[in-house]
Amino acid sequence: MNTGFILYDVYANIKQWFRNRSAVFWTLLFPILLILIFGSIFFNTNDITYDIIVRDLDNSSFSEILIGILENISVLNIQQVEEDENISMLMIKNDVAAAVIIPPGFGSKMSESLVNPSISTNISLYYDPSRRETVDVIRTILQSTLYEFNLRLTGGRSIVGLDENIIASEEFNYIDFFVPGMIGFTIMTSCIYGSIERNTKYRKNGILRKLLTMPISKAEWFLAKMLFMLFLSFLSTLVIILVGVAAFNLHVYPGILAIVIIISSSFLFTGIGMLIARFVRDEETADMAGGAVTFPMMFLAGTFFPLDIMPGFLQVAARFLPLYYVNEGLRNAMIYDNVEKAVYFTSFVVLFSLFFFILGVFLTKWSED
């Protein structure tokens, strides 16, 4: 074994790496971002609260006692409502994962059950299956609360149970709610990484300098690249939906708003990729630069982790990330069929795409610095 050659080659590579300031920057930034993101999400979990709607249709002393117990649970943020609006629409409008309804006659059945052991009653839990992690926590808290409630009243006999209901149609599965986020994440990664890779390669091969001699503007060249990435975005979206339908009996309904979001998000993330490529000088650092941008959005924008499980400051930060609006827009357009909220999120995606297109055209340089 030629130990001398091995050691010298390692030394030469380390020295070359240190000389490449861009490589050093992106190599160190990526792990720093990872530890900060996951540390912030999971370190101070005691500060996390879960919003839940409570509608009391009984207004008895027993229902008031139960609500009082729920309000004393520090991790629950109880929102009592009186509206007669459909509970599913109320949950979507207030952006909560779960709601509890105390039915009429709850108090009278409670009183009767203390005398007649055969009588029992239920409270209803309505939940959003797309936010499974949050719902699992809320369900566990409610089950523990009802167990304690029964224990205090009867010494252990179950007189109050939990009746669970999904807020969307029964034909939907969890995969249906996960797919919109998967589409948004796929468009983001393919557009950002693809744009960085192509532009870095063009700069290295001298193609960007040659564009100065061609009768085209930077806006035209920028738009051409965006249209190509749009083709890839539609292709990947189509593949996800077709495979999902064939393998998992997927139920999603992409309408005009979903198409607008896909077009806008493709332009948006292509623009971000082009901007990153403006500051990446070699292919070796391109992947690290792309990861430093895509990973924070991937984990903070509600693709895999619901915002509910994050501390408050991260929930605020998520609303500054373009992917958050893409995910929520697609989810409301393709699953909830909530036109009002879909239009709201779509408008943000369109504004983001216009901003990054204009910024990209302004900052893109074909000549070397």
| Residue 16 pLDDT > 90 | no
Q: Give per-residue pLDDT as tens, 260-312.
A: 999 999 999 988 988 888 777 666 677 777 877 888 888 788 777 667 767 77
In a domain, 231, yes or no: yes
pLDDT-above-90 percentage for the chain? 12
Range in 177-181, 251-255, 284-288 the model is least confident about: 284-288
Decide: residue 247, CB within 10 A, 0-12 exposed, 13-18 middle, 19+ buried.
exposed
Of the candidates 110, 138, 166, which is a domain's last residue? 166
Same domain, 183 and 59: no
Same domain, 139 and 200: no
In a domain, 339, yes or no: yes
Q: For residue 23, which of 204, 282, 277 has the smallest C-alpha distance?
A: 282
Same domain, 88 and 192: no
Same domain, 105 and 126: yes
Q: Which neighbouring-strand residues pair with 126?
A: 99, 165
Same domain, 182 and 319: yes
Same domain, 333 and 283: yes
User: CA–CA distance from 95 to each of 50, 98, 179, 313 (Å)?
Assistant: 11, 9, 19, 17
Of the candidates 138, 166, 194, which is a domain's last residue? 166
Same domain, 294 and 183: yes
Same domain, 154 and 297: no
Count of the separate structural domains present in the chain:
2
Same domain, 262 and 311: yes
pLDDT score recorded for residue 349: 94
Same domain, 120 and 248: no
Cβ-contact 92, 120 below 8 angstroms: no
In a domain, 31, yes or no: no
Same domain, 151 and 181: no
Residue 255's domain spans which residues?
A: 174-363
Q: Give per-residue pLDDT as tens, 189-230.
A: 888 888 887 777 777 767 666 766 677 777 777 788 888 888
In a domain, 20, yes or no: no
Q: Give per-residue pLDDT as tens, 32-67.
A: 665 665 555 555 555 677 889 899 988 888 888 888
Same domain, 251 and 142: no
In a domain, 249, yes or no: yes
In a domain, 4, yes or no: no
pLDDT score recorded for residue 366: 59
What's the angle, vertex CA 56, arms to CA 50 and CA 59, rounded to 5?
Answer: 140
Q: For the chain, what is the mean pLDDT?
A: 80
Of the candidates 134, 166, 198, which is a domain's last residue? 166
pLDDT score recorded for residue 347: 95
In a domain, 30, yes or no: no
Sequence letter at residue 247: A
| Residue 351 pLDDT > 90 | yes
CATH code, 76:
3.40.1710.10
In a domain, 203, yes or no: yes
- Round to whole Å and give the CA distance between 345 and 187: 17
| Residue 252 pLDDT > 80 | no
pTM: 0.69
- Round to whole Å and give the CA distance between 118 and 137: 30
